[in-house]
Amino acid sequence: MVTLKNRILNDARCLPGGILKVDGLLNHQVDPQLMMQIAQEFAHRFSHIRVDKILTVESSGIAPALLTAYLMNIPMVFAKKRIPVTMANNYYGAEVVSFTKGNSYQMVISCEYLTKGESVLFIDDFLAHGNTTRAILNICSGAGVVVGGFGIVIEKVFQGGGDWLRSQDYLVESLVKITSLESETIEMS
């Protein structure tokens, strides 16, 4: 996606430790028109598979997931990073270690919003080491739900999460692939 690549080259910054700072367009300030173009691309790339529902994780996945769900005319469900007081004990959960935040948390989705036999598309802003996607696979497996594909806005290829998913025969579509962030330079393929 040329538009997105150019925006990353213009607006993103490299921080020490392999962190790409895109909070001017994606995960703090959001450009809704760019986000709609991203959603159109996802809707196009996954038009050949069955998708009953879009899944994502709060908070930065919500914008691209919502617009993709809007275009595909299906519901969107966002996993929570904390168990809400309103959820009682009726949820599927999995542990996630966050790379950027340096902590771990219990990711949960209410049992009400995953139905056995459904096929879902997971959308997220980043794919790095793949900890979030593994937690989503655990949750969906527990619910009897198939993950038909992973739509990723920015894949940090050098952190291996995408390679692992592809080695397990999952369909992964990443709009931009970052191959290196060394020496504070962004390299994309």
Options 66-74, 144-152, 167-175, 177-185: segment touching its own copies (CB under 8 A): 66-74
Rounded distance between C-alpha atoms, residue 115 and residue 137, angstroms: 14
Q: Measure the CA dihedral 89/59/98/135, to 10°.
A: 50
Count residues near its own copies (CB under 8 A).
40
Options 54-62, 117-125, 130-138, 159-167: segment touching its own copies (CB under 8 A): 54-62
Options 67-75, 123-131, 156-164, 165-173: segment touching its own copies (CB under 8 A): 67-75
Q: Which of 3, 6, 49, 75 binds its own copies (CB under 8 A)?
A: 75
Strands 119-127 vs 53-57: parallel, antiparallel or unpaired: parallel
106 backbone φψ class: left, alpha, beta (φ>0; ψ -120 to 50): beta
Q: Which of 26, 38, 63, 143 binds its own copies (CB under 8 A)?
A: 63
DSSP string, 164-179: HHHHTT--EEEEEEEE
Binding mask 99-118 for its own copies (x = CB under 8 A): -xxx------xx-xx-----
| Buried/exposed code over 31-59 (b: 16+ C-beta within 10 A; e: otherwise) | eeebbbbbbebbbebbeeeebbbbbbbee
Residues that bind its own copies (CB under 8 A): 15, 19, 21, 23-24, 28-33, 35-36, 58-59, 62-63, 66-67, 69-70, 73-78, 80, 82, 84-87, 100-102, 109-110, 112-113
